[in-house]
Amino acid sequence: MASPSSNTSKRKAAEKSISPPPVKRKAQSTISKGAVASFFTPTSQKPKDRTNWTERAPDDDTPPTLLVGRYEPENIGELDRRKRRKIAAFDLDSTLITTASGKKFGNDPGDWKWWDSSVPSRLRKLYTEEDYRVIVLSNQAGLTLHPDPKSKGPKAGNKNKVENFKQKCSAVLAQLDVPTTVYAATGHDVFRKPRTGMWTELCRDYEIPEDEIDLSGSVFVGDAGGRTAQLKNAETGAAASTKDFSCSDRNFAHNVGISYKTPEEFFLGEPPREFVRDFDLASYPYPGTDAGEDGKDLSEVAFEKTNKQDIVLFCGPPGAGKSTFYWRHLKPLGYERVNQDTLKSRAKCFKAATELLGVGHSVVIDNTNPDADGRKEWVEFARKHDTLIRCVWFKVPKALCEHNDVVRALNKSMNPETRASLPALAFNGFFSRFKEPKVKEGFQDVVEIEFKFSGTKEEYAIWGRYWR
């Protein structure tokens, strides 16, 4: 006869075996039902992507850098094809859309949401009720349409980024569903804001001469407005705000000649915030009535030759106008130029200067010469050749130099020596090493030159835009 304890054990074992096994949690697929359905849907039955993509090049000798996506709804009519002379143009990121994930930059084509819920309805109203052509103009330097074959970077990664961007834009435009075009500038050329290459392209695409655009009725909306940081206001309750990363959108609107608004102003009706430009064209007007036909100020003598023979040492950052100053003011006085950019080494500069002095010429040393140690070599060189040496110091701020550099690089008519745009390191390097030149270094005198535009009205029309 079995004991009570053994019966109890058998009963517990039986009860345990009868109970169902624990239910396992089903793994959640990251693939949506829509994606699965789309996979099994025949291509002929899938909804058509109504964004047509093309590429544009800044010139005949350069690979395409502008990506253009034109969206047309399925039932577009003749009313939608007519010329609209008012343009409402918008930046893309942080203006029309932002990331849904909260990341600063989203690589996933699905990682986006409208910047504000009011954005799509406001854009549709602009098109359907206010007769605007709605356009997107976006700098996208993170994309590379045609990687350099010699580059060691991952080609597939660049291609994926471009395709992801296209998918995201197609989704944005499809949800908006009004005829529009996205222009994405991927290079640092004429298409990149604040330069106006994208504006020129949109006018061509919609067959509207630029001088027929209703500039007073048009607007550009973007987040790069040069706004300064703002502390929290205890009285009004206004939240603290960080400063904008640049002023390129405001400057683009200035170049085109249309009004500018931030997203907060345009979509939310907030008042404008204070802003500042690191370089303001208002400080550098055209010379005016005192200028001759070539823009040279006739009332001012920029430089006087005081010695029969001497050396003039330039001191100033790249883009300060040193070479232009030489050709306009010192070449007519009989000075010959020695330039390290051309000769490639300091030793060759000393050799060339020796030869020029030997045949009786006065010489200009057209280099940056930022520090006293470098200038000392030329002072000693002058002493060795029993020649007086003067210094011309170009007191030009960094932002203005960078502006001049870009104007020169992107405009052949103002770039006789065909110089390429310089990297930021060239400017940062000069200003980190710069020491103000002094007479006590051994100079006869130090002539200070502040920048004034010198050129024709046609040249000023090019120079007097924001280029960076």
CATH number where 179 lies: 3.40.50.1000
Specify the higher pLDDT residue, 40 or 351.
351
Confidence of residue 14 (pLDDT cuts 50, 70, 90): very low
Of the candidates 216, 248, 277, which is a domain's last residue? 277
Predicted local confidence at residue 156, as pLDDT: 57
Count of domains observed in the chain: 2
> What pLDDT band is residue 240 in, cutting at 50, 70 and 90?
confident
Asked if 269 and 353 sit in the same domain, the reply is no
Predicted local confidence at residue 5, as pLDDT = 45
- Alpha carbon distances (Å) from 132 to 125, 127, 129, 220: 9, 5, 8, 12
Say what the pLDDT of residue 2 is.
44
The H or E element containing residue 51 is strand 51-56
Query: What is residue 290's predicted lDDT score, i.e. its pLDDT?
Result: 53
Asked if residue 393 belongs to a domain, the reply is: yes
Same domain, 186 and 104: yes
Q: 40 pLDDT exceeds 70?
A: no
- pLDDT at position 153: 61
Same domain, yes or no, for 194 and 63? yes
- Domain contains 222: yes
Backbone angles phi, psi at 21, to 5 degrees: -70, 155
Assign 3-class secondary structure to 61-122: CCCCCEEEEEECCCCCCHHHHCCCCEEEEECCECCCEECCCCCCCCCCCCCCEECCCCHHHH
Tens-digit pLDDT profile for residues 58-71: 999 899 999 999 99
Higher pLDDT, 217 or 19: 217
pLDDT of residue 406: 96
Q: Is residue 316 part of a domain?
A: yes
Residue 4 lies in a domain: no
Structural domain contains residue 271: yes
Distance of CA 428 to the CA centre of its chain: 18
Residue 432, pLDDT > 70, answer: yes
Same domain, 110 and 197: yes
Mean pLDDT of 86-91: 98
**Same-domain status, 222 and 304:** no
Do 125 and 256 share a domain, yes or no?
Answer: yes
Sheet holding 446-449, edge to edge: 335-338, 362-365, 310-315, 388-394, 446-449
What's residue 237's pLDDT? Answer: 65
Question: Domain with 416 in it: what CATH number?
Answer: 3.40.50.300
pLDDT at 241: 87
| pTM for this entry | 0.83
Whether residues 426 and 364 share a domain: the answer is: yes
Domain that holds residue 419: 290-463
Residue 297 has pLDDT above 70, yes or no: no
Confidence grade of residue 3 (pLDDT, cut at 50, 70, 90): very low
Residue 92 pLDDT > 60, yes or no?
yes
* Of the residues 219, 248, 277, the one at which a domain ends: 277
Closest C-alpha among 72, 184, 192 to residue 133: 72
Burial of 138 (0-12, 13-18, 19+ CB in 10 A): buried
pLDDT at 148: 79
pLDDT at position 325: 93
Query: Which residues lie closer than 8 Å to 150 by C-beta, 6 or more apart?
Result: none
Is the same domain home to 295 and 262?
no
pLDDT at 9 (0 to 100): 42
* Mean pLDDT value across residues 396-419: 92
Verify that 395 and 341 share a domain, yes or no: yes
Indicate whether 163 and 225 sit together in one domain: yes
Higher confidence at residue 405 or residue 152? Answer: 405
The mean per-residue pLDDT over the stretch 92-121 comes to: 94
> Mean per-residue pLDDT for 340-358?
94
Q: Are 71 and 136 in contact (CB under 8 A)?
A: no
Given a cut of 80, whether residue 350 has pLDDT beyond it is yes
Q: Identify whether residues 174 and 322 lie together within a single domain.
A: no
In a domain, 447, yes or no: yes
Looking at the chain, the whole-number percentage of residues with pLDDT higher than 70 is 84
- Please report how many Cα atoms fall inside a 13 Å half-sphere around the Cα of residue 135, on the Cβ side: 24
Would 357 be classed as within a structural domain?
yes
Question: Is 32 among the domain residues?
Answer: no
Per-residue pLDDT tens digits for 143-199: 999 987 776 666 656 789 999 999 999 999 999 999 999 999 999 999 999 999 999
Q: Are residues 270 and 342 in the same domain?
A: no
Choosing from 246, 277, 308, the residue where a domain stops is: 277
pLDDT of residue 136: 98
283 has a pLDDT exceeding 90: yes
- Across the range 129-146, mean pLDDT stands at 96
* DSSP code per residue over 328-348: IIIGGGTEEEE-HHHH-SHHH
Question: Which tens digits make up the pLDDT trace of 250-266?
Answer: 999 999 999 999 999 99
